[in-house]
Structure 1
């Protein structure tokens, strides 16, 4: 009987030893797969960066890259990734730069190039954990015309107030369309430059026309055409159509513009215009041009003077401009540009 019990105890010890060994092996595998290996991969940021580019892994750029202390947004990550993949030579330089910075641990103090590696201090098991900081690149813009508005990819970033003046701003590396818009002798002029921003860049715009043979009436005519375009773009109706409603009944307005979005006392509000009535007939129409004062200056130039108006501040462009307006469109109503709360409106009466 004692011999049987001894063999049973020895068998139990073997089972426990085997189970303990299995637990150690499984634990080691889990540790390697979910702790040691990820930590080692975090240290090899240059390899992960290259793979993320080639595989178009947007999540990597959102998680591992930042600009001015903030993680890249989804749009920024997609834009940056697509830019590098479209520009193969720049992509090769970028991959090489990350690899160089990774091999030179002191590179985190440098401020040149596209990137700066940042060791977060969260690495484990002797490995480092890196983030990639995109370095801001400076753009210097000059123009030979005063009041030149500068736009980047459709967004206004500033204005050069004086001819020969300098506007400086910073953007993250990438491809940008830089547009300059100004008014020369009453005519709107513009020029667009596409830049690959891998380092500081300078753009010198020469917007002044070489000759000045046009007469003032021609400038006024072109400006009138621009206003016609803006009104139709905002309201969906031609300026002639809107102008024809002055003095008309509510029924005529409904037939032409449809139901208003809102009604107040003697006023009907539409998306980009307001109709005011007097005894049931249209007295005036105010069109929201969706323009700031600087935008209207870029479109029409500086007004001759600014006057007080019951709705805000009237911008007076002179009689010749509005005479051209009436001649071109065959209109006889009074029109005024009014500034109110940093927005521009066309008042038709």
Structure 2
């Protein structure tokens, strides 16, 4: 039988053209979706900023916004985003500022306003990649009373040593409660101002009261409230909670305060708090106020007398001051301020 060579079936040129066109189309779509489009979106930082604010996208602020060269923490991102959304007019100005800086890229790199755009240099396909840097804003604080302690959002940040002196702080843009605490004529006065920090801010406190306003009972009450704040700030527990443990068992102490950091003979140590037991009941509690003697004077004024105490030196502020404790807080235990090793303690027993 004669051999006949079969002819290989060739594909039509139209099939090759179709496959090639389909491959190019799919490649173009993939390139657009996963390369070109993300690069273009990175360039439109003003659009992403606005959308993240309106949608309350915390992740954007953690990834794309920084302060002093560090990305915002979760708490900072939530605080900053919440502030702008609460203050609608400031939010509008912030959105407009990012858009303006993006449009004028040269001025956007300068340290002016709330933000500065930073080009990371990682942009592709002719697009830029931006981060937003929050610019520090300065707070200048002046007081007409020497030894004025300044607090910002519950944290003591400094002290004005001389009357009419000024101290300065830098904070990221936001809302802050700035409080001044000073002693005038032996009485404690406080004043708090809430500020919207969108540019440098100056605060001048006039704390010197008129003589007709210096009512001892009112000042004693204010001083008692300050001590309550200090106890909770240092221990994490209210003064009423700590006071209620006097005479209680070790089991009740553990249920209230948790496991102690250390145990000694007859004593349990917690953070800035020591509990002393006698016959298995709480005899006394010593609270470390984290204050030097001159800090306590700035907070409460000079004591009426000082006397020796088994634990150090007792500061006596007079009966009316401690009556404010008992009347306002409903507490019946004895309280003493003790100076020991250049530190101040509140002794409850």
User: Shorter-chain TM-score: what band?
Assistant: 0.7 to 0.9
TM-score, normalised with respect to structure 2: 0.78
CA contact (8 A) 1:234 1:289 kept: no
Moved more, 294-303 or 175-184: 294-303
CA contact (8 A) 2:249 2:280 kept: no
Match of 2:7 in 1: 5
Match of 2:79 in 1: 79
Moved more, 156-165 or 298-307: 298-307
Moved more, 111-120 or 213-222: 213-222
Match of 1:191 in 2: 191
CA contact (8 A) 1:336 1:348 kept: no
CA contact (8 A) 1:143 1:164 kept: yes
Match of 1:254 in 2: 249
User: What is the aligned length?
Assistant: 330
- Separation (CA, whole Å) in 2 of partners of 1:88 and 1:175: 13
Superimposed CA distance per residue, residues 71-117 of structure 1 (whole angstroms, 9 cap, x where no aligned partner): 11122112222222222221221122111111212114422111111
CA contact (8 A) 1:136 1:172 kept: yes
Match of 1:285 in 2: 284
Residue segments in structure 2 that go unaligned for 5+ positions in a row? 232-236
Secondary structure of the residue that 2:49 maps to in structure 1? Answer: helix
Superimposed CA distance per residue, residues 305-341 of structure 1 (whole angstroms, 9 cap, x where no aligned partner): 9899775x63634xxx345467776999794423458
Secondary structure of the residue that 1:314 maps to in structure 2? Answer: strand
Moved more, 30-39 or 18-27: 18-27
- Separation (CA, whole Å) in 2 of partners of 1:334 and 1:182: 23
- Separation (CA, whole Å) in 2 of partners of 1:4 and 1:281: 106
- Separation (CA, whole Å) in 2 of partners of 1:148 and 1:22: 76
Residue segments in structure 1 that go unaligned for 5+ positions in a row? 243-251
Superimposed CA distance per residue, residues 180-206 of structure 1 (whole angstroms, 9 cap, x where no aligned partner): 112222322111111111110000011
- Which runs of structure 2 are paired with 1:1-349 in the superposition (5 Å)? 5=7, 8-11=9-12, 14-211=14-211, 214=214, 223=223, 233-234=238-239, 236=241, 238=243, 242=246, 253-254=248-249, 264-267=264-267, 272-275=273-276, 277=278, 280=279, 285-288=284-287, 290-293=289-292, 296-303=296-303, 311=311, 314=313, 316-317=315-316, 321-324=317-320, 335-339=336-340, 342=343, 344-347=344-347
Secondary structure of the residue that 1:96 maps to in structure 2? Answer: helix
Q: What's the Cα RMSD here?
A: 3.9
TM superposition shift of 1:30: 0.5
Alpha-carbon distance change, 290 to 187 in structure 1, aligned in 2, over 3 angstroms: same
Alpha-carbon distance change, 10 to 85 in structure 1, aligned in 2, over 3 angstroms: same
Moved more, 50-59 or 122-131: 50-59
Alpha-carbon distance change, 89 to 223 in structure 1, aligned in 2, over 3 angstroms: closer
Alpha-carbon distance change, 2 to 166 in structure 1, aligned in 2, over 3 angstroms: farther
Superimposed CA distance per residue, residues 27-74 of structure 1 (whole angstroms, 9 cap, x where no aligned partner): 110001111111111112112222222222222211111111111112
CA contact (8 A) 2:287 2:347 kept: no
Alpha-carbon distance change, 90 to 186 in structure 1, aligned in 2, over 3 angstroms: same
Alpha-carbon distance change, 327 to 59 in structure 1, aligned in 2, over 3 angstroms: closer
TM-score, normalised with respect to structure 1: 0.78
- Separation (CA, whole Å) in 2 of partners of 1:28 and 1:138: 50
CA contact (8 A) 2:180 2:192 kept: yes
Alpha-carbon distance change, 218 to 77 in structure 1, aligned in 2, over 3 angstroms: closer
- Separation (CA, whole Å) in 2 of partners of 1:16 and 1:282: 93
CA contact (8 A) 2:336 2:347 kept: yes
Superimposed CA distance per residue, residues 268-326 of structure 1 (whole angstroms, 9 cap, x where no aligned partner): 5678442254xx59896242154433763444224579899775x63634xxx345467
- Separation (CA, whole Å) in 2 of partners of 1:334 and 1:95: 54
- Separation (CA, whole Å) in 2 of partners of 1:253 and 1:108: 63
Alpha-carbon distance change, 25 to 229 in structure 1, aligned in 2, over 3 angstroms: closer
Secondary structure of the residue that 2:11 maps to in structure 1? Answer: helix
- Separation (CA, whole Å) in 2 of partners of 1:229 and 1:91: 33
